[in-house]
Structure 1
Amino acid sequence: MQTLYQVQGISSDHPYNLRNLGERTGIGGTRVRRTGEASRENRTRPTTIQDYDNEFIGRLVNFYPAYEVEEFLEYHFSKTDFKPELWLKHLEYEIITNKVFDKKETENFKKLIIGWVSKRKEDIGVTLNKEFNIGNKYNIKWQDDQTNLIELVYALIESGVIKYNKKKDVVNAFSEFFNFKIPNPNQTLNAIKRRNSDNPTILLDKLKDGFINYLNKDE
């Protein structure tokens, strides 16, 4: 099953979801019998991502007012299982290049989509270049174990002090930032949840003590 778009009855029943095309798509055809008579023939083939692309495009060019297309794009962008940069590439090279957008009546939609893609690419570029890759630039490395890194990441997530689309994106960002691989974050998080209730926040307590000691030092 494709993972680019949200589909009715699979993810939710949100009005922006695409129609569920099922596992097979019908293809009509005409068959000429030996008698010379023509008959309508109903055949099917496996549903492809191109079928969902066409469904997506059909929705894109039918918004009124046209600028509401940005909300539609934002919805699918925020829900996709694809990496953000790959989803934008698909939109840029497979969707916008469709001949539907060569028509004058779809000109405004094309402009809005291109503008939205440019803005999103810029946002992602800022995040990747200025935040996620800074660890590589300055050779910053995580010196503790994986468990304590996950404790830190989820403490930031659940406290609401950082903005994100998906929790796994935050985990991956910290992994890149500190040049430290986290092979199974969910398993590690579950291990933290099973800690003794008397000492559930080992790293956070360590950070607090270290910072208090720093503040109490004579300068």
Structure 2
Amino acid sequence: MANQSLKISLLAVALLLCTLPALAHDLWLERDSNGYLLYQGHRHSAHAGAEFVNYDPAFAKSAVCVDDSGAARSPALVKSFPVRIAANCTALFVSFSSGYWSKTAWETRNVPKNQASGVVESWLSEESVKRIDRWTPAVAQPLSNGLELTPLSDPARLKPGDKLTVLVTERKQPRAGVPVAYGGDTRVTSGEDGKVAIRLRQGGMQLIEASLETQLADGKADTLIQATTLQFELPQ
């Protein structure tokens, strides 16, 4: 019975995410000569879609950069498309929000539900991505108060077939019961200690994703939908 309930829960989350335009694309960070570029799309996705999808640069809200000494700072975001972060980080966390969404029988609009008529469903979208390039002890700690995935050991030391233990946090505290996906499939939910073990299946770019839905009572949306991505690379 417990396994059946878990399967139903994971399926419900997967179906929900497929219906939300604000969460229909992956976020990832690419290095360039001046730092990082923030992209959205399906370049690394297991499902079909445009390789790159435009977004409003204002959706990128803030960044946290961990340097080689383990110190964290907040680099500026250059808000043109794609958003650029001029920094050299062991780990870089970027928060992103497309705001409030309201679904009616006719359309889905990027407005709070109190600014639309005939709303049948509404949500606030908050997303984030964390890229890890080099390991320091500070990288094993959460960097934000939002939903976040943190590896507990250096993923660069692993190879395909190995397992990586990841900590799921919200407000920097372990969060139980959060669905975690890898390779486009929802694999497991976080345990009571907030941890999940993910078996890495291939080399190259890795995207591990988590999502969480929370009820709201602010009059602007029914729910808060949070989605976060952990990004790193393994040797091919």
Q: TM-score, normalised by structure 2?
A: 0.22
- Structure with the higher fraction of residues in helix conformation: 1
Q: Which has the higher contact order (CA 8 A, sep 6+)?
A: 2
- Structure with the higher fraction of residues in strand conformation: 2
The structure with the largest alpha-carbon Rg is: 1
